[in-house]
Amino acid sequence: MNYKDILDKINRKGCWNVIVVDGVVGVGKTTLMNMLVNEMGYKPFLEPVVDNPILDKFYYDRERYSFSLQIFFLNNRFRMIKEAAKMNNAILDRSIYGDLIFAKMLMENGEMSKEEYNLYADLFENMIEHCHPPKLMIYLETSVDAAIKKINKRGRDYEKIVEREYWERLNTHYNEYFNQYSISPILKINVDNIDFEKNSEDRKYIFDLINNKLKEIESNN
């Protein structure tokens, strides 16, 4: 089953007033989310990484922990999107909408069994039927080299041990997913040569893109 088939299960009767920032590991999702929180007053919902008891184990033994990690993320992201939907201006660092990217990649690479993936996908479909599309999906595109540079700079030991091929597969799956993504308005921003954290001109460029997209969405409603 491809991404589009699963995403088509979503409830399209209206959208939730939430913005999602997505992209591969290390691309700058949390940084951008925090900047939008400070600039526009959004309520942040952080990806469950710090209090995740499985994540570091997963990177050392992906085959053993892939299924349990994906179930942990799926459960928490379903809980988060329900809470975010009750608010008027929530923004999420990753979300349930893109959760299946990792599961599908792990299954295709033999690090999650087909039986485990089918169980995961069935659970995902049951959950996504109760979700509405986000108001806006922001996808931060990047090259593998740029992502690895940021990962190494961030300094999480369990990420630094991961082989380059894993990040290449992840980037391929992200591009495939967002090429098929059609459940909501989407803004794709390539951030390879952009430092929106430290460069004020780059930051203004990003904010202008987002604000213009939001105005476009409002004018179409």
State the Cα–Cα distance between residues 202 and 193, nearest whole angstrom: 9
Using a CB cutoff of 8 Å and minimum separation of 24, what contacts does 50-53 make?
A: none
Residue 25 belongs to a domain with what CATH number?
Answer: 3.40.50.300
Report mean pLDDT in 10-residue bins for the chain, 221 residues.
81 91 91 91 77 85 94 93 91 92 94 96 93 96 90 78 90 93 94 90 95 92 71
Q: Give 69: exposed, middle or buried? Use CB within 10 Å, 0-12, 13-18, 19+.
A: buried
Q: Which residues pair with 186 in a beta bridge?
A: 137
Specify the 3-state DSSP secondary structure of 186: strand
The pLDDT of residue 48 is 62
State the Cα–Cα distance between residues 190 and 143, nearest whole angstrom: 9
Enclosing domain of residue 134: 3-220
Domains contained in the chain, number:
1
Q: Which helix H or strand E contains 216, and what residues bound it? A: helix 200-220
Asked if 147 and 26 count as a contact pair (C-beta separation under 8 A), the reply is yes
Note the helical H segments in 49-199. Answer: 55-60, 62-85, 100-108, 114-128, 144-154, 157-160, 164-180
The pLDDT of residue 1 is 61
Q: Give 85: exposed, middle or buried? Use CB within 10 Å, 0-12, 13-18, 19+.
A: middle
The pLDDT of residue 50 is 56
State the Cα–Cα distance between residues 57 and 212, nearest whole angstrom: 41
Q: Which residues of 193-217 are buried (b: 16+ CB within 10 A; e: fewer)?
A: ebebeeeeeebeebbeebeebbeee
Q: What are the tens digits of pLDDT across the range 101-147?
A: 999 999 999 999 999 999 999 999 999 999 999 999 999 999 999 88
The pLDDT of residue 155 is 67
Which sequence positions are flagged as catalytic?
Answer: 93
